[in-house]
A and B are shown apart, each in its own frame.
Chain A
Amino acid sequence: MRLAPSRLLLGLFCLLVAVWLVMPTLVIIPMSFNEKKSLAFPPSGFSWQWYENFFTNPDWLSSFFNSLRVAGLVAVAATLIGTLASLGLSRMKHSGAGLLRAILITPMIVPGVVLAIGIYAVYLDYQLVGTTTGFVIAHTMLAIPFVIIAVSASLEVFDARLETAAASLGANRFTTFRTVTLPLIAPGILSGLLFAFVTSFDEIIVALFITSPYLKTLPVQIFTSITRDADPTVTAVGTIIFIATTLVISAGLIISSKSTRS
């Protein structure tokens, strides 16, 4: 293929866009080994001290485990409620289904701050500020749309005749669901679970309002650290999250490529 100048220009432009997309993620990694307590680029020297700080500082560790606990609970709750809702929506035949679906995914577009002050106001009345219950309720509501979208996508390509076939062979409703429907939509449910976890683990706006000194999540800790001082521990945390995500996604890719091959 000859390389026309217009093609070269297109390629260069897209390379620039790709760099723009990726650079913020990659710049975090060298910064995390900085010897000095500064965020000036380029970093100087090499040290593990910010990783050490993350693993020994109780502020960072407790916020990390708080996030893990909240996100784990949210992932389970949102997947359960969201999958049920998707199943219901896929079986609804009248026009109400579209409206109900639109209503259920509104948390995605409501401006975060408006939602946050509302939840904060309600939580102040019900003493839910700074509680795990409060975090789980708010984050589950925010995560359900992602589960609904993921599960609905796999239900859309699901052939309903398979359920009919199972039923005609004598399976009752529950057996049909367990042995036919569930395994076929499992990939959608799994990606919904993952999305729900990430949504909660990453959520900051509502968290900033309903946090308390006793219950901080990781994003809140990161935000306060950034606004307070130039602490490179944040970049170490970012690198750890980046590596963990890379591992999870690679594992997911390997598993899914194996399962499609068999």
Chain B
Amino acid sequence: MSQTSHTPTAGGDHPRPPGAVRAPQRRLRLAAYPSLLAMPALALLIAAMGYPLLTVTLRSFSDPSWGLQNYVWFFSTPVNVTVLWRTFSIAAWVTIVCVIAAYPYAYLMTAVGPRLRLVLILCVLVPFWVSGVVRTLAWVILLQDSGIINSVIRLLGFDGVKLIRTQTGVVIGMAQVLLPFMILPLYSVMRGIDLRLVQAARSLGARPARAFLQIYLPLSLPGVFAGAIIVFILSLGFYITPALLGGPRSTMLSTLVQSQVLSLLNWGRGGAMGVVLLVATFVLLALAAPLMRQRHKQASRS
């Protein structure tokens, strides 16, 4: 790997002078427009994502007739507003659960030896080894009334808990699916924290808790932030897990979109819901992007 190490003094600033002399014309064309290489990808993106999203947006304003009636319907129907609110609250719960579970876990990953670290990393990656739908089925097996979790609870002498088809069950299942997206960014930030700073604080008389709160926690916040944003945004669009683990009282927006389009064939209303979901996602992303960049800068400066 030594040949790939990159020194900051000699970057790609010089556009390869010797080659330019050798084949001036071809070199000039390709070197001038390297973005051409990205055009096939962009074309496919426009055809398979841009055009479909445009179609959905157009139908939300035009089906069955032009106007805002689909959006008026969406925001004036209590069920929809409830589901929209629930979608955000489930996403928030999943994010909170992920932060609480991932923070100590990522910290332990940085604190242990290489062997144990490999085991911890494997535990994060194993969930990806089985297809997502199968994993959701596994959660059905685990959470059902006669499932493992309830058996353990009864073994401990408590009453069984209703988990399947409840919001709690959905949050447990979704958080497990999304936990890697929280652990990995956290780990990469924590790995870069200079632990001597914490030692310095301790040697200056700070108690462990204070050293953690004043030094370590602020330095690890960019990771928390990056992970939380990813988890929250991905949760908003979840479809399979709530559909299989949830009941009628834990329906999320994606399921409503699906039933409007596939069961009721109402493209206008389904489209309007989709646009609401899409706008929420991008607004969140736009709000978070500058904040994340700023945090990163702060972290690298200190």
A residues near B (Cβ < 8 Å) are: 10-11, 13-14, 17-18, 20-25, 27-28, 31, 39-41, 81-82, 84-85, 87-93, 96-97, 100, 103-104, 106-107, 109-122, 137-138, 140-141, 144, 148, 157-164, 167-168, 170, 172-173, 184, 198, 201-202, 204-205, 209, 218-219, 222-223, 226-227, 234-235, 237-238, 241-242, 245-246, 249, 260
Interface of chain A, helix or strand or loop or mixed? helix
Residues of B within 8 A of A209 (CB): 262
How far, in angstroms, from A120 to B274 measured CA to CA in the complex? Answer: 13
Is B5 part of the contact surface with A, judged by Cβ < 8 Å? yes
Q: List 29 A-B contacts (CB under 8 A).
A: A10-B107, A17-B102, A21-B126, A23-B142, A24-B142, A24-B176, A25-B129, A28-B130, A41-B147, A41-B151, A85-B41, A91-B37, A92-B35, A93-B12, A104-B42, A113-B258, A114-B56, A115-B53, A117-B258, A117-B270, A121-B267, A137-B48, A144-B45, A167-B16, A167-B19, A201-B131, A222-B137, A234-B137, A245-B130
How far, in angstroms, from A184 to B208 measured CA to CA in the complex? Answer: 46
User: Is A107 touching B179 in the complex (CB atoms < 8 A)?
Assistant: no
Which stretch in B65-73, B195-203, B231-239 binds the other chain? B231-239
A-B contact count (CB 8 A): 275
Is B135 part of the contact surface with A, judged by Cβ < 8 Å? yes
User: Is A91 touching B134 in the complex (CB atoms < 8 A)?
Assistant: no
Instruction: With both chains docked as a complex, state the minimum distance between the C-beta of A231 and any C-beta of chain B, in angstroms.
Output: 10
User: Is B5 touching A159 in the complex (CB atoms < 8 A)?
Assistant: yes
User: Is B239 touching A112 in the complex (CB atoms < 8 A)?
Assistant: yes
How far, in angstroms, from A172 to B30 measured CA to CA in the complex? Answer: 13
State the 3 A-B residue pairs at the shortest beta-carbon distance, nearest first. A118-B52, A88-B37, A111-B237
Residues of A within 8 A of B192 (CB): none
Residues of B within 8 A of A241 (CB): 129-131, 134
Residues of B within 8 A of A234 (CB): 134, 137
Residues of B within 8 A of A81 (CB): 40-41, 44
Among residues of B, the one whose C-beta sits closest to the C-beta of A166 is B19
How far, in angstroms, from A167 to B199 measured CA to CA in the complex? Answer: 50
